Structure 1
Amino acid sequence: MNVLVWHVHGSWTTSFVHGKHRYLVPVTPDRGAYGLGRARTYPWPDSAVEVTPAELRRADVDVVLLQRPEEFDLACEWLGRRVGRDLPAIYVEHNTPKGDVPNNRHPMADRDDLLLTHVTHFNELFWDNGGTRTAVVEHGVVAPAVEWTGELDRLAVVINEPVRRWRVTGTDLLARFADLAPLDVYGMKVAGLAEHLGLPPDRLTSHDDVPQHAMHAELAKRRAYLHLCRWTSLGLSLVEAMTMGMPVVALATTEAVDAVPPDAGVLSTRVDTLVEAARWLAEDRDAAYRLGARAREVTKERFGLDRFLADWDRIMEEETCASR
């Protein structure tokens, strides 16, 4: 099967393109938002191939995977076909709704020409999907090549654009934890974060845009993973950390409540409780090991790559068969 899919979310797309199909990834000369092409900091198989808009006009495409509202018209233009009519279309929603929650209508609400697929049950519940058919395919991750060792009594955090997204990602809460253990923050546009928070460099170190394999190797050395997102979908970095065997300390919000069992980490909406949990794990490596071992066991079963790809194979095959 030939699947047209834009490179939008690096970690999710990395898992998706590890399937058995051929993945057509749009690329434009400027490698902008709608033509980013193949990932440069994630390991992608050769079955993910770059295609230009001109090449798409002649390409054999079996199904179109959309992830942003603008991609619908763009796909119609580049393919020269009516997506959802001439070709089956699946829209993947990665994010929690914004604005008037829980009354926020999804951009693809009340449509009969596509399947709206959410990455968490929380998202499907909180978006107003109207009459559009929906499905949920939970995350699956390529298992990191390293496992947790936790020899450093430091806390690991992964956030993209922590300054711009401030309260959404819980960036404003980080200083509370930097008082008890040094923080290592990985992600995109994390440079200068210590200065924004008024913290000395020895309490918070930024690691900007580190390749995924190198980031995993460093995360595995940290004592625990800190997840302070108030209102985001379930972070793949959280799932990857748990797959490595890292214990997690997380806000009990959105899908994290269901994804992290109580014996695999500490969840609460009380920041003081999380601060004390982080202090406990920083001081007690044996306790961190016990929680992390359970986290690894749970995530390998629930968020394994084989289950994720099998779910996507089923959905894509159902949609292509229905369109014939």
Structure 2
Amino acid sequence: MRILIWHVHGSWTTAFVQGPHTYVVPVTPDRGPDGLGRARTFDWPGTVVELPPERLRDAGIDVVVLQRPHEHALVERWLGRRPPMVYLEHNAPHGNVPDTRHPAADLPGVPLVHVTHFNRLMWDAGSAETTVVEHGVVDPGPLWTGEIPHAAVVVNEPVRRGRTTGTDLLPAFARAAPLDVFGMGTDGLAAHLGLPAGRCRSRELVQRDLHRAMARRRLYVHPVRWTSLGLSLLEAMHLGMPVVALATTEVTEAVPPDAGAVSNRIDVLTRAVRDFVADPARARAAGQAARAAALARYGLPRFLDDWERLLKEVTR
């Protein structure tokens, strides 16, 4: 099967392209949002093929995975036809929740696929056929050592996104343990929060280096208020890290009690951070439970099997 998909979400796509198909990603000279091409910071197999828009009509596309509202028009313009399509929604709704209407509600014959049951519940999909294919993660292995008694945080553009990503909560966590914040747009974060550099360090790393750096930290903190389900959280669990997270969106489904601490009480969460930093053996046990839970629910084989069934249904 030849699947047309735009490079929109690097971490999610890295799991998706591990399947048995050919994955065609549009590429434009400027490598802009509609033609980013193959990933440069993720490891993608040779079955991911870049093609410019003018060659897509003859590419033999069997099915299209839409991820943004305007891609539907691009398909008709670039392919000159309407092959089977599904619309993959990565995000929880913003705006007038829970009355936010999904763009795919007005696309007849295009199933809407959510990555969490929370998202399916919160989006107004109208009469669109909806389903859930939960995340899958390429297993980085049980790399946790916890040798650095800091908390790792992974978030992109924390200053711009502010309360959405829980950036305002970081000072409270930094009082419990030094924070190492990884992600794009994290430069100057400590100064923005008024924190000493020793309590909040930030940098951007490519994926393969990020996992190794995370795994050296004692625990993972997930301060995000409103997101779908952060893949960095699931990756931390795969690494064998204990997690401390807000009990928002899908987190309570993903993190079992013995894998760390999940709460909406900041005092409970910061106390858990202190406890894990002070007790490496406890951190190790919680991290092992986190890894077992992540492999069982968010393992790559289940994810690929679910997508295989769905793609066969829409193309038959």
* Whole-angstrom distance in 1 between the partners of 2:150 and 2:78: 48
Alignment of 1:1-324 (within 5 A): 1-82=1-82, 87-208=83-204, 210-321=205-316
Q: What whole-Å deviation, never above 9, does each CA across 1:30-79 have from its counterpart, x for those lacking one?
A: 11111111111100000011110011121100000000001110111111
Aligned partner of 1:245: which letter?
G
Stretches of structure 1 that go unaligned for 5 or more consecutive residues are: none
* Whole-angstrom distance in 2 between the partners of 1:256 and 1:20: 30
Q: 1:27 touches 1:50 (CA, 8 Å); kept in 2?
A: yes
* Whole-angstrom distance in 1 between the partners of 2:256 and 2:141: 23
CA RMSD in angstroms, aligned pairs only:
0.9
* Whole-angstrom distance in 2 between the partners of 1:261 and 1:146: 18
Bigger Cα displacement from structure 2, 93-102 vs 108-117? 108-117
The alignment's TM-score, normalised by the length of structure 2, stands at 0.98
How far apart are 1:108 and its partner, in Å? 1.1
How far apart are 1:180 and its partner, in Å? 2.3
How far apart are 1:112 and its partner, in Å? 2.3
Aligned partner of 1:118: which letter?
H
How far apart are 1:287 and its partner, in Å? 0.8
SS at match of 1:280: helix
Aligned partner of 2:57: which letter?
R
Q: What whole-Å deviation, never above 9, does each CA across 1:182-227 have from its counterpart, x for those lacking one?
A: 111111111111111111211111112x110100001001000000
How far apart are 1:21 and its partner, in Å? 0.3
Aligned partner of 1:176: which letter?
A
SS at match of 1:109: helix
* Whole-angstrom distance in 2 between the partners of 1:289 and 1:158: 20
Aligned partner of 1:80: which letter?
G
Stretches of structure 2 that go unaligned for 5 or more consecutive residues are: none
More helix by share: 2
Aligned partner of 1:106: which letter?
H
Bigger Cα displacement from structure 2, 153-162 vs 139-148? 139-148
Q: 2:142 touches 2:238 (CA, 8 Å); kept in 1?
A: no
SS at match of 1:231: coil
Q: 1:246 touches 1:292 (CA, 8 Å); kept in 2?
A: yes
Q: 2:99 touches 2:124 (CA, 8 Å); kept in 1?
A: yes
How far apart are 1:111 and its partner, in Å? 3.4
* Whole-angstrom distance in 1 between the partners of 2:39 and 2:7: 7
SS at match of 2:3: strand
> Equivalent pairs: percent with the same residue?
59
How far apart are 1:113 and its partner, in Å? 1.9
